[in-house]
Structure 1
Amino acid sequence: MITGPVIPPGVGPVAIGIAIACLTTRWVAPWVLRLLAGSVQAAVAALAAVMVLPEYYVSTASRRRHRDPPQFAYDYGAAVGWVASLVHQVVGWLLHGSARALRAIPVAVVAVVAGVLTIGWLLDLICF
């Protein structure tokens, strides 16, 4: 005959902490990082398009006067494009790489770390 609780006190919060940590590191965080990468890359492209507008206006005005645009306009457009491309690649590399790194962490390691942190929090050794 069982006289006490079937599940010892504190096991429920530890199990919930481990489940949340495993779900977060395996699915939620990588998805958010990939979404963030796409959003930042789109913002960089939009910002580059806005930054090239002055070059477009100078080039258009020069061509209306039947002249070649100044070399500075070409150089400016090339520089903006180069910087935008570099930022696009670096953001993609960092955020997609972080997502892959999170997925590569073994579930057992995540479970142990989450369990230790949850137990420390339950014993008031760690404050979140």
Structure 2
Amino acid sequence: LAAIITPNADEAAALTGVEINDADDLKAAAEMLVRRGATAALAKGGHLAGAYVEDVLVTQDGAEIFKNRRIDTTSTHGTGCTLASAIATGIAQKMPLRDAVARAIGYVHTAIETAPGYGAGHGPLNHAHPCKTCG
């Protein structure tokens, strides 16, 4: 079984039927996913409007909101896949889930911040940045 699921706001809404407009709605949807059997759910708020991105981690132990300044960029192609992979890396390294999520969010934030700016559409992240200050 999966240790965690990582739906964005639209995916969480489709899975739960919850209309998602803010972090409270993300939390409600993630709690519903955990009640339905997910070990943990990280409902991601990157698709929502606002000056900050709020991601909500829910486990059987409770909920935590990770809040980061939104970066004005189009270099966002692959953010969800990168985040899930970074979380999986932390889990494989035997990190507690909360720490793996925090480090992964920090890694993706820096990867967006330092993206090379290629292309005319949604460009790639900078996956090669050092992760000394992530999470």
Instruction: Please indicate the TM-score interval, normalised by the length of the shorter structure.
Output: under 0.3
Whichever structure has more strand as a proportion of its residues is: 2
Query: Relative contact order: is structure 1 or structure 2 higher (C-alpha 8 Å, sep ≥ 6)?
Result: 1
Higher helix share: 1
Normalised by the length of structure 2, the TM-score is 0.22
